[in-house]
Amino acid sequence: MPMAAPRALPLCLLIFQMVTGSWGQEAITPGCHLHPFNVTIRSDRGGTCRGSHVAQACVGYCESSAFPSKHSVLVVTDYRHNITSVSQCCTISRLQKVKVQLQCPGARQVDREMFTAQACECDTCRFSRY
């Protein structure tokens, strides 16, 4: 039976390589990336003038951790804060203003401005952002 272990190891490594090789690089490493999506803009609720534009959003994930709180934190919080967490969220770090031309009846055009993400980063999570 001792010979079964050395043979099983290469098989496990081959299966691991096949599984990890099929995922995109973004799925393996933490990160936050620009992701394009289509936006339709209307001049009013009736959609009299409308246009579309490819905007960018920040999607992905960032590293977070939790660990036992220091004794000083426990004392200050009357031993109610026994776990400390450090969380990061994928957020927009730079915005870009773009002009979108809306097509109106009678071949008339109207320009509108909108913002789109230009760059993303992992940053401290803040409730006010979401």
What is the DSSP secondary-structure string of the chain? -TTHHHHHHHHHHHHHHHHHHHS-HHHHS-EEEEEEEEEEEESSTT-SSEEEEEEEEEEEE---EEEEPPHHHHHHTTT---EEEE-EEEEEEEEEEEEEEEE-GGG-EEEEEEEEEEEEEEEE--GGG-
pLDDT at position 3 over 70: no
Q: For 10-30, how does the pLDDT look when each residue is reduced to its tens digit (9 = 90+)?
A: 333 333 333 333 334 444 455
- Per-residue model confidence (pLDDT) at position 29: 52
Q: For 51-82, how does the pLDDT look when each residue is reduced to its tens digit (9 = 90+)?
A: 999 999 999 989 889 999 999 999 999 999 89
As a whole number, mean pLDDT of residues 87-98 equals 93
- Per-residue model confidence (pLDDT) at position 63: 87
- Per-residue model confidence (pLDDT) at position 120: 95
- Per-residue model confidence (pLDDT) at position 128: 59
What is the Cα–Cα distance from 36 to 108, expressed in whole angstroms? 28
Is CATH 2.10.90.10 the classification given to domain 25-129?
yes
What is the Cα–Cα distance from 82 to 77, expressed in whole angstroms? 9
Q: What are the residue boundaries of the structural domains of the chain, listed by start?
A: 25-129
Place of tokens 């909108």: 114
Q: How confident is the model at residue 124 (pLDDT cuts 50, 70, 90)?
A: confident
As a whole number, mean pLDDT of residues 112-120 equals 95
